[in-house]
Structure 1
Amino acid sequence: MSTLLRLATAGSVDDGKSTLVGRLLYDSKSVLADQLDAVERVSRDRGLVATDLALLTDGLRAEREQGITIDVAYRYFATANRSFILADCPGHVQYTRNTVTGASTADVVVLLIDARKGLLEQTRRHLAVASLLRVPHVIVAVNKIDLVGFDGDVYAAHAAAVTAAATDLGLADVRTIPVSALDGDNVVDRSTRTPWYDGPSLLELLEEIPAALDVADEAFRLPVQLVLRPQGAARDVRHRDYRGYAGQIASGVVRVGDAVVALPSGRTSTVVGIDTADGELAEAFAPQSVALRLADDLDIARGDLLAAVVDAPVPTRDLEATIAWLSDRVLLPGTRVLVKHTTRTVQAVVRDIVGRLDLDTAEITPADQLGLNDIGQVRLRLASPVAAEEYVISRRTGAFLLIDAHDGGTLAAGMVGEPLAEARCPQRRPAQYAI
């Protein structure tokens, strides 16, 4: 089992995410003395009787002044059994885009709900994001269980509602835990005040949950970032004809002697050298940054993809995708955008908006436009082909961004294919737009 786990927290506003993370850091003894002193000082300045552990994650001055989290706060901590990278995401509906960012690389999402309120629309939205992004594991922490008198029936009702909603969205592994982030019940240590709950604490579960499969186990993919050539007159004649294709390996392993294909051209060659800043290698794997030397002089540029010949993706100009719309602008059919896929950026047009995810029914319903925080399915026509794969196959080569061609702003995060496996939508005839 991998010792590194990437997790993200999410939930509705004021559900206690930052307090939970602070409690997790504090009780696991992952807080430095000077950090704790600073938090205690700010807590006293606010007139609080107890230390506000939420301040351990609310690092921005504006957040501290308002008492809310408005950005993704990343923290690194470790226990005797595991290391963690944690992304604390905001709860306000207008910051769902930040949740998409935080959950995009997560192995597990810890989703909070308030025991007094239960399942809310924002909870459903975060579950949908977790399903879209193919997060392998979801833990739902029913927080503030102390404010409902540690009532096991209340917890059971919330757990059943969460399980039903997660099942509708196609989430396979969802666990629920009753917690009190303020007092620490079932966060690091199991609580005696929830005798009706016999499961692990949150930290115990995080320590035992398996991480996602290593990308080194997937097929080899390397998006080319830069073509390396000698600058000026090479002093060493051996380097005068040097040509290396540099980038970070997105997935898989490459070895000297392997056959690779350059996409979208489809030309093939053999790897004759693997160079790094520390010297040559016989093999390299994700996520190493390398420069590959090939036996043939191929026309390869930034944005091309080097892939294993076996099971190489087929370049395409037509994408059917699910997107999380992150802009205040409304998306309409015919909108022209830029598609950024790995290191390749191409012009595109939105041919059709197939539909929008209904958070109440977990189904895709017909729609003519998408607004801020909507999750929907679209058809895109690209000006030139990209070597995209289904998101369910690869979270790296199946993901893309939609970018505003005028100001460079990010409009949407996209996943190739239909990640919402349980969604259903009537077939519609796409409108035609030339590009």
Structure 2
Amino acid sequence: MQVKGESLQDEFTSWIDDIPTCRLSGIGTATNVLYRRDGTRAQRHSFQNRSFRIQQEDYQLGIYGVFQGFSGHRVADFVSKCIPGELILGQLTADKSDEEVKEVLRQAFINVDKAYFKSIDDILAKRSVLQSEGKPKSVEAEERIVQSAGGIVAVILNNRLFIASIGDCAALLCRDHEVIPLCCNHTTDNEDEILRLCHLGVDVELGQLYPQLGDARLTRCFGNYFVKSGYKENSLVSSAIQEPVIPEPEIFGPITLDNDVCILLLYTKSLVKAFREATSVINAEAELVQHTKHYMCKEASLSGVAQAVVDQVVRLHHDRLEVTGGQAVNLEDMTLLVRDLRGFRRKDSRLAASTLTGSSARPTMQSSTTTDSSEVDNTGKELPVDENGRITPYVDFAPFWRLWGQRKVSENSITSLEKS
């Protein structure tokens, strides 16, 4: 069932397509996979994640978002198209105070959630009519109104970083010698969220599975009628004194982007979950950063970097599955957004490749005509690069051409003498 005015074309186009994309960022994705016991693979559902990366130089503003959809893609799609409109049309300018920026972010999340439910008013109205007449519910309508999404948005404004999130998407800020997690999982594994629900009159316990909240057990999200205005129909949260699941984000910042900060990663929880399952590493987030640094000195673009990291996680997960016997298991949709905060990718990531084993390296073609800056600069001296990260000319050929000219003059003189 489509929202009034919605078409197939609307799902693949957006007004933000005409807004300048941030060239210092890239996005990688992987579609969900079901591994069958016979070794074959199948896609369980359509891709449900969405993302954006926008830069407005006039406002010294960059905004980046990653959204993971649940039970469908429509909420994530709606939010990814509407959030930018709440942030880039003059709401955020360089003179805004820290508190003003946070309030704009908070209102953006709340306003977009309200707008989503307004967009499905006709579905909810038809559902109410069917209920009042005692008629069977529409399966399509029930599937539509249960859809939800979690998301994370990063705002870089005048060298200040703010992170706003709901659900279980996450962010990592990488300094030269430190990895800083910037996230707060809004699930039933979060003690503060459990306490908040208990104060509203909901009987829940930490770490328990509650299918009434949806597959992801989100306590904050976009969409999902049955935990918002329709919560009285939900057996788990019907006793709440107000809507138990909220769209209000957790906000981190401001963080000053000084010279020590080099990379920002935004990603869906499914990415780290798959990486942890594939490698059994203790600190999957730190390893994810190392893989990103590794590919930063291998790939030609940041989208190539992000995609290489995601592909590597998928491959490691599949290899682990093959080794352990090929039991039926699945991977969820994954998204990774990489933002280079320095602008000199090759220089900053030169040493990263040595931290990874050969099994984690992505095969790359070697060229006999080009040389990477990490191969040339083996003296520890920093070579100058242009705005595209290419090494600027630094060899003076004047002596060569001078000697070449002298030789040609001598040869011409000898030729003239021989002829005479």
Q: Shared topology, TM-score over 0.5?
A: no
Quick check: which one's strand share is greater? 1
| Superposition TM-score tier, normalisation by shorter sequence | under 0.3
